[in-house]
Amino acid sequence: MYSLAEENYIKSIYHLQQEAGKEVSTNAIAESMETKPSSVTDMVQKLAEKKILSYRKYKGVQLTEEGRIIAANVIRKHRLWEVFLVDKLKFHWDEVHEIAEQLEHVHSEELINRLDKFLGNPAFDPHGDPIPDAKGNFKNTEKKLLSELKKKQSGVCVGVKETSTEYLQYLDKKKITIGTKISVLGKEFFDGSMIIQVGRDQFFISQKIAENLYIQTA
């Protein structure tokens, strides 16, 4: 059984490895966890002893297979709880992250299996992120960023990259949610901004907006 602090480190390292690939630096971990590099070094050395990750001084860390499974399980719990909060308790998708951060650390395999079943074995969380199975396997759907679409292309919103409240509220205001169809009417090469169509509305979005929205094209 891993402590709350350990689980959070493992989860963060997992996510960083997804983005950056290969070895993850001490500083990167410290930044993502809002802690100091020296604290990271301590914890990372402890996790290395426990064979949850491999650590080479000054070179960064990489999760072992065991580490990856632990991370996937925490993520599985987080995302299942998010589904619960949105589907059953009618929370809004931009309100659930913090609560799920707490719920993800409740230890009980039976609980999470029953929750999974209760929710109808969902494959994606309310932000469109995939929910791994109990062994830590993700089904990966190939999704693009909206910013990668060209003029006249269209697709369906399947998730977000950025999950800040500000961003999610922006999407809300524009009536963009999981499943919303989006068409690119025009695209400016200079700054990557776009004119898009959502429902009956057409409006301008900046590149920053476009590169944080995942789209599944038909």
Catalog residues that contact a copy of itself under the rule CB under 8 A: 85, 88-91, 95, 98-99, 102-103, 106-108, 110-111, 114-115, 118
Least Å distance, CB 68 to DNA, is 20
139 binds, among DNA, a copy of itself, none (CB under 5 to 8 A by kind): none
Q: Which element (helix H / strand E) includes 192?
A: none
Least Å distance, CB 91 to a copy of itself, is 7
55 binds, among a copy of itself, DNA, none (CB under 5 to 8 A by kind): DNA
> CB-wise, 1 or 218, nearer to DNA?
1
5 binds, among DNA, a copy of itself, none (CB under 5 to 8 A by kind): DNA
Least Å distance, CB 114 to a copy of itself, is 4
Q: How far is CA 57 from CA 28, 45, 66, 67, in A?
A: 15, 9, 21, 19
DSSP label of 120: T
Amino acid found at 204: F
26 binds, among a copy of itself, DNA, none (CB under 5 to 8 A by kind): DNA
Q: Is 201 helix (H, G, I), strand (E, B) or coil?
A: strand
Amino acid found at 95: E
> CB-wise, 42 or 109, nearer to DNA?
42
Q: Is 30 helix (H, G, I), strand (E, B) or coil?
A: helix
What is the C-alpha separation between 84 and 126, in angstroms, rounded?
9
166 binds, among DNA, a copy of itself, none (CB under 5 to 8 A by kind): none
Least Å distance, CB 110 to a copy of itself, is 8
138 binds, among DNA, a copy of itself, none (CB under 5 to 8 A by kind): none
> CB-wise, 84 or 214, nearer to a copy of itself?
84
Phi/psi at 52 (nearest 5 deg)? -90, -20
What is the C-alpha separation between 28 and 13, in angstroms, rounded?
9
Least Å distance, CB 24 to DNA, is 9
Name the site residues for DNA (rule: CB under 7 A).
3-6, 25-28, 35-46, 55, 57-60
Q: How far is CA 60 from CA 19, 24, 56, 88, in A?
A: 15, 5, 6, 41
Phi/psi at 63 (nearest 5 deg)? -65, 145
